[in-house]
Amino acid sequence: MADENSPAEMHSDSLYRRAISRRSVLAGAAAFGAVLAVPALACGGKSDKDVFSSTTQVPGTTAPSGGSSTSAKASGSGVPIPASGQVAIDFTYAATEGGRAKNPYIAVWVETAAGEFVDTISLWYSSGENERYLSDMRSWMSSSGGTDKSMSSATRNAGSYSVAWDGKDASGQKMPQGDYLFFIECAREKGPYEVISQPLTIAAVPSSASPADKGEISKVLMTYIP
């Protein structure tokens, strides 16, 4: 994230160009092939208390608005995602620089294949302290409008984490089975910025996908269990 007193060029469009545009995301979704079937996996519910209860910290680390969007709503026209159905999103965050690094802002969210915002799965930022830096989360702000902060929590140290989507939209209604796009966006003050996106089919059988590592986010695994 840019420092408040940083020169204007720190806020240049160069970072934004590195973010995934809606058009390129949809193109990637169209090109995405079959996903892999995996065994059943138990994972927590949509609560940050549960989300971070089993995380592991990388050894050697130290302890510790808004745009516009179109939101998808649950539709009765499709087969709903099962009550027990959820997507576990595992990833590792590790700073690429030596010494003490600022903890990142990270957003994890889901959209329909058509690019409509569904729900924020997890949002790391210092609520009430540095909310001005949320504007650096360009893709999440553009998708959600910057108002969906129900899954917010404090920033985290380097480590491996798992969050879960329960198959519901932001209003708590189950979404229909189909193709979805999952995102991880990471922005760190005076550090790199990256967005990872991954299409995943939510149907009657388990599926998973592993997008490539990007910057300080690695070992991403997205697993759907009906």
pLDDT number for residue 103: 83
Alpha carbon distance 155, 152 (integer Å)? 9
Q: What is the mean pLDDT of the chain?
A: 72
225 phi and psi angles, rounded to 5 deg: -125, 120
Q: Which residue has the higher pLDDT, 216 or 36?
A: 216
* pLDDT band with cut points at 50, 70 and 90 for residue 211: very high
Q: Averaged over 210-215, what is the pLDDT? A: 95
Q: Is the per-residue pLDDT at 52 higher than 70?
A: no
Q: Which residue has the higher pLDDT, 155 or 195?
A: 195
- pTM greater than 0.75: no
pLDDT number for residue 190: 73
pLDDT number for residue 212: 96
Contact between 219 and 160 (Cβ < 8 Å) = yes
Q: Which residue has the higher pLDDT, 68 or 73?
A: 73
Assigned CATH for 8-225: 2.60.40.4070
Q: Which residue has the higher pLDDT, 73 or 160?
A: 160
Closest CA to 181 of 114, 84, 85, 89: 114
Q: Which residue has the higher pLDDT, 94 or 181?
A: 181
Give residue 66's region: left, alpha or beta (phi > 0; psi -120 to 50).
left
Q: To 5 degrees, how large is the angle CA 105–CA 106–CA 110?
A: 150
Contact between 131 and 66 (Cβ < 8 Å) = no
Q: Map out the domains of the chain as residue ranges.
A: 8-225
